[in-house]
């Protein structure tokens, strides 16, 4: 019989006659903890040096990873303490990247980050009110991590 799991993130489910249900329950809680309000430390292809202080931290795997991350490009690696857990991203998943202070969105099987957009300058007619409004909107999007700073 195949393991019982949720459809979207493949979290383990309890079986009716299962022994040691706490193991399955704890594993599900660990993954929920990693997925809820997802924030990653950075996007890396090399496994970072981790300690017990890094338990619960996550990274987006990019490039051509090796070692325990081999064949996991695009996935999210979560350090649980003593081992890695991997999350296969779903279409529309959003993560906050702490190192870039920006959101990334998983679209069409890849992580996408909004481009940098410069404040408006130049033009033949200067409209300071419109320019100030555009600058405020762009600043707000940068604050939210939607646009690069």
Residues near 93 by Cβ (< 8 Å), separated by ≥ 6? 38, 105, 106
Structure confidence by residue, pLDDT tens digits, 7-17: 666 777 777 78
DSSP bridge pairs for 40:
97
Instruction: Give the predicted TM-score (pTM) of the model.
Output: 0.69
Q: Any idea where the domains of the chain sit in the sequence? A: 1-36, 37-112, 115-149
Measured over the CA atoms of residue 116, residue 119, residue 125 and residue 130, the dihedral's sign is positive
Structure confidence by residue, pLDDT tens digits, 103-126: 898 988 999 887 777 777 777 777
> Which pLDDT band holds residue 133 (cuts at 50, 70, 90)?
confident
Cβ distance 41 to 33 under 8 Å? no
């Amino acid at each position: 019989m195949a393991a019982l799991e949720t459809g979207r993130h493949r979290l383990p489910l309890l079986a009716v006659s299962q022994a040691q249900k706490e193991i399955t329950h704890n594993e599900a809680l660990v993954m929920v903890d990693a997925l809820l309000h997802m924030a990653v430390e950075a996007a890396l292809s090399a496994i970072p040096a981790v300690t017990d202080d890094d338990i619960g931290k996550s990274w987006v795997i990019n490039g051509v990873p090796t070692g325990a991350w081999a064949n996991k490009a695009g996935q999210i690696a979560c350090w649980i303490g003593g081992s890695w857990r991997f999350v296969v991203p779903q279409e529309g998943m959003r993560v906050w990247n702490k190192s870039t202070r920006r959101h990334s969105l998983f679209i069409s099987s890849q992580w996408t980050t909004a481009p940098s957009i410069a404040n408006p300058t130049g033009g033949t007619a200067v409209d300071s009110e419109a320019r100030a409004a555009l600058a405020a909107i762009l600043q707000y999007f940068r604050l939210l991590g939607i646009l690069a700073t």
